[in-house]
Amino acid sequence: MDVTVLRPDELTTADISAWHAMQRADLALANPFFSPEFTRAVGHQRANARVARLTVPDPEGPRTVGFFPFERHALGSGKPIGSGYCDCQGLIHEPGLAWDPQELLRACDLSVWEYDHLAAGQTPFEDAGTPRARVSSPIMELNGEAGAYIERLERLRSKPLKAARRKERKLSREVGPVRLVFHTPDPALLDILIRWKSAQLRAKGLRRDLLSQEWFRAILRELFDLPSDFCSGTLSALYAGEELVAMRYELRSRHVLACWFPAYDTRFAWYSPGVLLSVKVAEAAADLGIAHIDLGKGAELHKQELKTADLTLTEGYVARHTPRAALWRAWTASDRTARAAVRSHPRVRRVAVKAVSAVERLR
């Protein structure tokens, strides 16, 4: 197997077509974070973005069998493309392809590749590496059938659904009729969502506010309303009368809707607008043939109440036996120790929160 490392903009039309064909062949690869469109958008903003193209000999010439998007960092370490905001990671490949992660890293000049959202089915990476944890990513199963999700959720847990319907009726009476616009191409609404979500992230303290960074907003805008069946930024808006209540920026492919940035107007918090929006989006997405909505990993209450199943993601790394990999292990071990110390000491954590908030204000 031959490996050629490219910058995302160096992908050819034939590369994109082969990549799309691999995604069509396997629903596990249909997530829009696995798309070449996402990789290229990140590449426009991150100079360290790369793609490894895997080929094998063929009588008619080299045949492309896989793509490995990644970022190259210090000490020869690698991370998934869009590290820090990519919710599905791994190798995009032909069905049944066998690959050697150690050889792949060597060809990419990486001493280690660290992941935190490794998708199911990426077994060679897990077998050759050091998985740290397996976590769940709740999903809403739609199966492309109108009403299928609601019926399934009613069987699993009817209480959240009844509560959502009750609050929807109250919102309709007190503010105005509730309606969903599944996707609005209005960039002004995207700016409002960014403002809402940025304020929400800053209020959480330690979590980095990506939406305050112009380079990241550029990625959102590039993907927004993109005319692609494999990755398009979709902005759904929930209204009560003429009042804009809640929005969600999601990445959409033919079969998967990946929830990325939900936010709502805090004036309507009592009505649980995020839950209302989720239910409305599920009904609309099913009519469009979406198989499932990925809510993203996490144990938040609303995800647990709305899910009908879970995907399994893995956190960990694959490392070669090199001096740089040894240095990376030592460096990351000390970093994890420092983070654990911050989390375990309330006074230290409060100081850290204030420091992060101060830096964000300066930005």
Q: Give the span between the Cα atoms of 295 and 283, in whole angstroms.
A: 15
Residue 156 has pLDDT above 70, yes or no: yes
What average pLDDT does this structure show over 111-115?
96
Beta bridge mates, 54: 3, 66
pLDDT value, residue 352: 43
What average pLDDT does this structure show over 116-130?
93
pLDDT digits (tens, 9 = 90+) for 54-87: 999 988 889 999 999 999 998 899 999 999 999 9
Question: Model-level pTM?
Answer: 0.89
Task: Record the tokens describing residue 213, joined without a space.
Answer: 């960074």
pLDDT digits (tens, 9 = 90+) for 87-107: 999 999 999 999 999 999 999
The total number of residues written for the chain in this structure? 363
| 3-state percent helix, strand, coil for the chain, nearest multiple of 5 | 45, 25, 25
